[in-house]
Structure 1
Amino acid sequence: MNDIDIQPILMWLKERQESYPVTVEEVGINDLQGWKANPQTGNIEHESGKFFSIIGVKVTGASDREVPSWSQPMLKQEEVGISGVLMQQQAGVTRYLFYAKFEPGNIDTVQISPALQVSEGNLSRAHQGKRPRLAEYFDGTKGTLIASVTGVEDGGRFYHKVNRSMLVEVDESEAVPVTSDYIWLTLPEIKKLLLVDRVVNSLARNVCAILSCEDSERNESALSFPSDAASKGNLS
């Protein structure tokens, strides 16, 4: 793996970060447009009833935890999230499509993310919003579905939040319509990028588990996930 050069990929990511001059400022909930505290429940909700909400939960009977009962706030979103990656044979090499995505909580503004990262409602345009780029590959219109697996998000902070990780294969003769914010990566490149701090986002890491299984079935080298020591960014 040491002979895999990921510096061009890291330079591409840095360029994407520098080309996204966004400002994120921490403000009070009362200063948010469209968000409010429900006067009956105290839950923080969007006035449209869409997106997510912040609720409270009471826990009792957790005998194997530090304390058996407690209460805490949690994020609740009933819509299933979609995290999708495309796979394509290019000149005899299997490559996977990822995206440089901005999210307001990122330390470095932009991280390598799944090619598509939306809610099921956005994918189906249930809210009459703009159709996400590459949606046609993840709604059954184009491509071949290789894997689709649902998993529960961090249960310590999210309440019953489910994400679906998808891998879709595209015919090698097809030109996928992407911009400079997208990048095709090989499995060895992905494997090495996973060892670098704050480069690959958590949802993309989830999809990488599918890539590992798919790759193993094709009798190629399986994707191994970094240990705690390796995840500190030491690539040697």
Structure 2
Amino acid sequence: MPSHVLQRRAVQSLPARIAASAATNQGVQLPTEHFDGWLAERRRANTFRVDRIPFADMEGWSFHEHTGNLVHRSGRFFTVEGLHFTEDGPPHGDGPHSDWYQPIMRQHEVGVLGILVKEFDGVLHFLMQAKMEPGNPNLLQLSPTVQATRSNYTKAHQGGDVKYIEHFVGPDRGRVIVDVRQSEHGSWFSRKSNRNMVVEAVGDVPLLDDFCWLTLGQINELLHRDNVINMDSRTVLSCLPTDDTSGDALLTDTELLSWITGERTRHCVRTAPAPLDQLPGWKRRDSVIEHETGRYFNVVAVSVQAGNREVTGWTQPLFEPADQGVLAFLTREIEGTPHVLVQARVEPGLVDTVELGPTVQYTPHNYAHLPEQELPPFAESVLRAAGDRIRYDVVHAEEGGRFLNAENRCLIVEADAPLDPPPGYAWVTPAQLTSLVQHSHYLNVQARTMLACLNAMRTGTR
């Protein structure tokens, strides 16, 4: 409830406290040199197993009699449905007409992705969880303190309590630092979003098994390792306010917002449900739904055993991409101010047609049959970059609760890209991205991953 006392609209000290945590690479609770041993111990302490199974062996899941959609008998969790997507070419003639069918996940619930923070010896530490997800390439990665759908934390699955959830949805939660709804993968989810939260704890917080306190500096170091920090952590971390006070930019904030609005206006997109068992080009077999070309992604089924989850065993569908993807920011200084090149990206599952994506966001395997001139803009510039022009090059997995072995090579590349980029692209500063990500549906999940990586790359430690 409001205190009825006037307060500052923004807490002035907060960005400086976050910056101090980012500059500290040695935590009070878990020294950096002990992290690998701690994570290995958590692997040994629990039993994890994931097996591919035929669709018929899934417990509680079935294909709907009339639509062929893959549904759970409870009516909860999510469904795999068919989607028909069409986009008329933009009026200025710089984009083709698009028309395709695909499977897509529909999940109406808004989940909670929440990181709890607390000061130790005057430095903010972040409570991270070693969480098993069936789709993770290495199963165990660092997730937020809470990573739960509404079905999870209301116990629709009849499982155990979600640990620490009271700090994010209870009446006695701590001081909110971040609280914003952000989109999930617009190519694989239909209009799905999660509540991204960072909350500063009040009072003592018991440290439970599978959890550890790390400074932001330690987390940023781990962001330089393959498949350690999971997607849900990256999206929450991208929403943190920073102390970047640079006020100069190629576009003013008003011009940037106007450009985004214009991009949303000029794309005429339509989506319509389609029966999953009647999608042109897609074939359902005993253990997979796949595209006839072998491109894009498959829908598969798995059986899962995880000793430290709220439910220790279950079956479910997962989306498995055809190959590793590429995400990249091209970056350059403009009159001494760093900028990155973003694209206004249309995806069928987005709430508002367009969100900002990285400069490059694609899966090379899906373009292997096309001539080079039909690759996404700047893809060749990224893949041919070498030497010290590559400032960041790490493989990160996508959300392991819904996607199987979904990895992207994430790159930040210095380039002499044109100051006047092609339509649909714009140069923006990291500070402008940080400002936009405080609001819903401006940066897609891939851009938020790249912003977290960019912040980790730019942050010095002590």
TM-score normalised over the length of structure 1: 0.84
Corresponding position of 1:145: 176
Classify the secondary structure of the residue corresponding to 1:101: strand
Separation in 2 of the partners of 1:7 and 1:114?
A: 21
Count the aligned residue pairs. 224
CA contact (8 A) 2:86 2:97 kept: no
Corresponding position of 1:50: 76
Separation in 1 of the partners of 2:50 and 2:158?
A: 27
Pick aligned residue for 1:176 from 205, 214, 222: 205
| Structure 1 segments unaligned to the other structure (5+ residues) | 218-225
Corresponding position of 2:165: 135
The answer to whether 1:186 aligns with 2:228 is no
Bigger CA radius of gyration: 2
CA contact (8 A) 1:36 1:44 kept: yes
Superimposed CA distance per residue, residues 57-80 of structure 1 (whole angstroms, 9 cap, x where no aligned partner):
001125376761000001111001
Corresponding position of 1:33: 59
Matched ranges for 1:56-205 at <5 A: 56-63=82-89, 68-125=98-155, 130-139=160-169, 140-171=171-202, 174-205=203-234
Classify the secondary structure of the residue corresponding to 2:243: helix
Separation in 2 of the partners of 1:66 and 1:138?
A: 44
| RMSD of aligned alpha carbons | 2.8
CA contact (8 A) 1:34 1:46 kept: yes
CA contact (8 A) 1:196 1:231 kept: no
Separation in 1 of the partners of 2:175 and 2:54?
A: 45
Aligned AA (2:49):
T
The answer to whether 1:206 aligns with 2:235 is yes
Separation in 1 of the partners of 2:110 and 2:24?
A: 39
**C-alpha displacement at 1:20, in angstroms?**
2.5
Corresponding position of 1:222: none
Separation in 1 of the partners of 2:135 and 2:175?
A: 33
Separation in 1 of the partners of 2:111 and 2:168?
A: 12
| Structure 2 segments unaligned to the other structure (5+ residues) | 1-21, 27-31, 245-327, 330-389, 396-455, 458-462
Classify the secondary structure of the residue corresponding to 1:69: strand
CA contact (8 A) 1:99 1:181 kept: yes
After TM superposition, the structure 1 stretch with the greater mean CA deviation from structure 2, 69-78 or 138-147, is: 138-147
* Structure with bigger RCO (C-alpha 8 Å, 6+ apart): 2
**C-alpha displacement at 1:149, in angstroms?**
0.8
Separation in 1 of the partners of 2:165 and 2:199?
A: 11
Separation in 1 of the partners of 2:174 and 2:24?
A: 32
Superimposed CA distance per residue, residues 29-74 of structure 1 (whole angstroms, 9 cap, x where no aligned partner):
1110110000111110101111011011001125376761000001
Separation in 1 of the partners of 2:38 and 2:157?
A: 33
Corresponding position of 1:232: 394
Aligned residues: percent identity? 34
Distance verdict in 2 for CA 1:141–1:130, change over 3 Å: farther
